[in-house]
Amino acid sequence: MHAVSTFVVDLGERSYPIYIGGGLLGQSEYLTPHLKSESVLIVSNDTVAPIYLERLKACLSSATKLEVVILQDGEQYKNLENLNLIFDQLLTQRFGRDVTLIALGGGVVGDMTGFAAACYQRGVAFIQIPTTLLSQVDSSVGGKTGVNHALGKNMIGAFYQPQCVIADPQVLKTLPERELSAGMAEVIKYGAIGDIEFFNWLEANMPLLMRQDEALLAEAIQRSCQNKARVVAEDEFESGIRAILNFGHTFGHAIETGMGYGAWLHGEAVGAGMCIAAHVSRAFGLLQEQDVSRIVSLCKAAGLPVMPPEDLDSDRMLELMRVDKKNKQGVLRLVLLDKLGKAVIVDQQETETLRQAMITYSAENYL
């Protein structure tokens, strides 16, 4: 038995615990106290379910009504049409308001299950069991749920908090390396925007983290969640400081939208997005050149792309960035770095400096 660490995301009435520990997926004692009743609907996908569904079901022997929805795996299925598959199952099986939805999968499963829970009968309970590094460190904290629209990512959704989150680093052993890298992008982000000690620790430990050292992964997950939880607790509904969590994401979303959902993993787009954002920060006279280098190098050590796709030029990216929901009345809202470990929010009316910086960015200059 490995150690289990618990901490609480502090959101008043909507506070909830995150449990982190190897082997947690097979243990019922952390899960069952958070069920609202004996009615449970598990939502998973066709990649995760064959590996972990039976183990989760074995923990739910107390449920007298237990059904499962298996979604197709991939960001391209994160839309209203597939969300409706969850509603279909809930209604066909006549689940009432006392149902608890359990999300077993990555960020897409978590976001869709959370949004379905927010909307079904105007709100039922849900529990997150994230099975990717990305979802363990990012989408399981903060209550952002939703689906994509053909014209923009995460444009339809709700702020909705789970009953609890259960993060088991052991499940990452079956995760493709590309997805481990993608998750690491968000881990690096927490260091870059607000925790220089964590950034230093990541530089020292990235090789072992990428070789799946379980204890180090558990520590990285916990420090990431705590960093995110601190920001979210300050600003649950994203009216201010929470926007710094979008470091690398404005560029990243443009890459994802421009390439079509699913071509680049979210974390890969964020990795390249952070490198671009670091360079733009320098062009705006904020970040030092050697710190841009440290970010680009750490992303590279995590196996992340550090350049945007070749067939997506800066003007197209800028056009895609303008539809981002963080913008107000035509002003482009950027999250930049004042220094390593300190993010700032910059509202940019005039985009020519930005455009030039994007055109001149080359990772080679920093490596």
Q: Which residues bind a copy of itself (CB under 8 A)?
A: 37-39, 80, 83-84, 87-88, 90-92, 94, 96-98, 118-123, 144, 146, 149, 151-152, 155-159, 237-238, 322-323, 325, 327-329
Nearer to a copy of itself, 6 or 62 (CB): 62
Only one residue has tokens 């050292």, namely 213
Nearer to a copy of itself, 53 or 119 (CB): 119
Integer Cα distance of 251 and 131 in angstroms: 26
Based on the residue annotation, tell me whether 122 is a catalytic residue of this protein.
yes
Are 99 and 90 in contact by the 8 Å Cβ rule? The answer is yes
Based on the residue annotation, tell me whether 266 is a catalytic residue of this protein.
yes
Based on the residue annotation, tell me whether 36 is a catalytic residue of this protein.
no
> Looking at 249, 279, 282, 294, which residue is catalytic?
249
Based on the residue annotation, tell me whether 144 is a catalytic residue of this protein.
yes
362-365, Cβ contacts within 8 angstroms, sequence gap of 24 or more: 362/307, 363/275, 363/296, 363/300, 363/306, 363/307
> Looking at 36, 82, 238, 333, which residue is catalytic?
238
Closest approach of a copy of itself to the CB of residue 301, in Å: 34
Sign of CA dihedral 252, 264, 19, 162: positive
Closest approach of a copy of itself to the CB of residue 307, in Å: 28
The DSSP annotation for 35-55 comes to -SSSEEEEEEETTTHHHHHHH
CB contact set of 141 (below 8 Å; sequence gap of 6+)? 9, 18, 165, 225, 228, 229, 232
CA 279 to centroid of chain Cα atoms: 23
Nearer to a copy of itself, 80 or 367 (CB): 80
Closest approach of a copy of itself to the CB of residue 122, in Å: 5
Are 139 and 111 in contact by the 8 Å Cβ rule? The answer is yes
Based on the residue annotation, tell me whether 228 is a catalytic residue of this protein.
yes
Are 337 and 344 in contact by the 8 Å Cβ rule? The answer is yes
Based on the residue annotation, tell me whether 242 is a catalytic residue of this protein.
yes
> Looking at 45, 148, 227, 246, which residue is catalytic?
246
Based on the residue annotation, tell me whether 2 is a catalytic residue of this protein.
no
Nearer to a copy of itself, 243 or 302 (CB): 243
> Looking at 34, 189, 223, 228, which residue is catalytic?
228
Closest approach of a copy of itself to the CB of residue 75, in Å: 17
Closest approach of a copy of itself to the CB of residue 46, in Å: 23
The DSSP annotation for 233-296 comes to HH-TT-SSGGGGGGTTHHHHHHHHHHH-BTTB-HHHHHHHHHHHHHHHHHHTT-S-HHHHHHHH
Based on the residue annotation, tell me whether 186 is a catalytic residue of this protein.
yes
> Looking at 78, 153, 189, 253, which residue is catalytic?
253
Closest approach of a copy of itself to the CB of residue 96, in Å: 6
Nearer to a copy of itself, 160 or 361 (CB): 160
Closest approach of a copy of itself to the CB of residue 313, in Å: 20
* Nearest Cα residue to 252 out of 220, 233, 275, 228: 275
Pairing of strands 39-45, 342-348: unpaired
Nearer to a copy of itself, 5 or 93 (CB): 93
Nearer to a copy of itself, 116 or 218 (CB): 116
**Which residues are known to be catalytic?**
122, 144, 186, 228, 238, 242, 246, 249, 253, 266
